[in-house]
A and B are shown apart, each in its own frame.
Chain A
Amino acid sequence: MTPLEVVFHLRTPVALGFPWIFFDSLLAHIRLKEELGERYYSLPTKVPMGAQLRVPLKRWRDVPVASVSIFEPQAGLAVFSFFKRGDFPFPRGRVERSRGFFKDYYLRAAYIPAVRVRFYCTGELEEVARLCRKVPALGKERNIGFGFIKRVEVREVEEEWGLVWNGVAMRPIPVRYLKSWEDAAWMAYKPPYWSKKSFDLCAVPFTRVELA
């Protein structure tokens, strides 16, 4: 396992569903797709999958050594509003889409006009690079063009920066693993990031911490 820096060069801005993207979940997602093939698209919802998957990243205790996204340049958020049809079965014939039960969803996506997304991790260079090349887009609303990737660079770095860099947390780390921390919040710290089982009181990314 070697300390790595992964840089995704973007073609389009990244839409977000949370302030950060987790690198380990990105790799787990690609691995799961590889493992399941077509079955990936008919998975049951709300059932944690992929716990047994081998993701080529180092773990410190049960925390993956992989940073959250660093967006460059650090521009502020913007909002994109759009309409989307509901994903329920529509009846035959004419339906009113501007109001009533079949009214279109008026959605708003927060996005960052980033040109690069940087991650740090400790893992197997070859395998991480192979998986990263399979990522077509980052973030949310990829189906309408957000987060498209132009190219990806994976290179070795001298130090391990996936967990802590110069005393700053690079990802959520449970406070029970820390000696001191500047800011904490309840959030998921390991995949699956949507599951309650992954929640803990964690140091907030990019705030000062000291590992126990």
Chain B
Amino acid sequence: MSGSDEDWLRRWREYFLAWYDEGRVEEKAEEAAEFASRYLDEGVVSVSGGKDSMTMLHIVATRCREDVAVFHWDHGPWLMPREVEEEIRRGIAAVAPRARLIVHEYRLGWSERARWDWEAWYKAFFSTLQSLGFRYHLLGIRADESCRRRARGRVVERRSWVEVHPIYHFSWRDTWAYVFKHNVPVPRVYFDYAKLLGWDKARLVTFFDKEFEKYGSPQLDSVLSWRWKAKPF
């Protein structure tokens, strides 16, 4: 990171730390922990490695219980470059060292086909979730992410499990404030995207994924994450 980037990050850190008090993020985190604790006995915390799921994991692991079950889906190198994936795994281990970590690897993610054949991804992902056998899946979904997510509600009954969203009432500012306040590790690639798109729009999604072509993501990835385009491992 260059000097000007560090200065930029320092100023934003200052802002988010101020927001932590201003936005009463501590109270929201306490409420989220209390809400999550009802579902942990038969539940698993799903962690993608993004800011929201890492925030949720930190809340659960530090305020509810340390030996929580954590599920992480490894998309494979063509969708999630190994550098980022390693950072995510290190982050999970640092936040919840005593967690029971379950990692499933997406086999097709080792083939370039994974970048355009996302139907196969959905099949593999949901059959894996079903095979885990947990009653509750705790996800880091927030209401202010989209109208669709807001409409989903905080607890969603699915056919084989129940989706629970502990940080549902967090805003993007709350999440970043929590990340900076508690030094929650998030992949550094976030900062490149945040600098260009803004903190509210920076999201960790699969890279060069045709599924997100409708949102212009692969084109931005080609400019910001060009190193991982031709050979991501």
Footprint of B on A, CB under 8 Å? 16-19, 77-79, 81, 103, 105-110, 140, 185-188, 196, 199
Contacts and interface: CB of A to CB of B under 8 A. Distances in A.
Nearest to A184: B227
B1 interface: no
A199 B220 CA distance: 20
Given A19-B226, A188-B230, 9 more contacts: A17-B219, A18-B222, A18-B226, A79-B197, A105-B216, A108-B215, A186-B227, A186-B230, A187-B226
Interface of B: 196-197, 213-217, 219-220, 222-224, 226-227, 229-231
Contacts of B215: 106-108
B214 A105 contact: yes
Nearest to A81: B216
B4 to A, nearest CB: 9
A108 B212 CA distance: 11
Contacts of B224: 110
A109 B197 CA distance: 11
Given A77-B196, A187-B230, A199-B231, A109 B222 contact: no
Q: Is the interface of A mostly helix, strand, loop or mixed?
A: strand
A110 B214 contact: no
Contacts of B231: 186, 199
B226 A110 contact: no
A108 B197 CA distance: 10
A16 B223 contact: yes
B5 to A, nearest CB: 10
A83 to B, nearest CB: 10
A106 B196 contact: no
B219 A109 contact: yes
Contacts of A16: 223
Q: Which 9 A-B pairs have the closest CB atoms?
A: A108-B216, A186-B231, A107-B216, A186-B230, A110-B223, A185-B227, A199-B230, A105-B214, A16-B223
A136 to B, nearest CB: 21
A17 B214 contact: no
- Find the residue from B196, B215, B223, B224 having the highest chain A CB count within 10 A: B223
Contacts of A108: 197, 215-217, 219-220
Given A186-B230, A186-B231, A18 B223 contact: yes
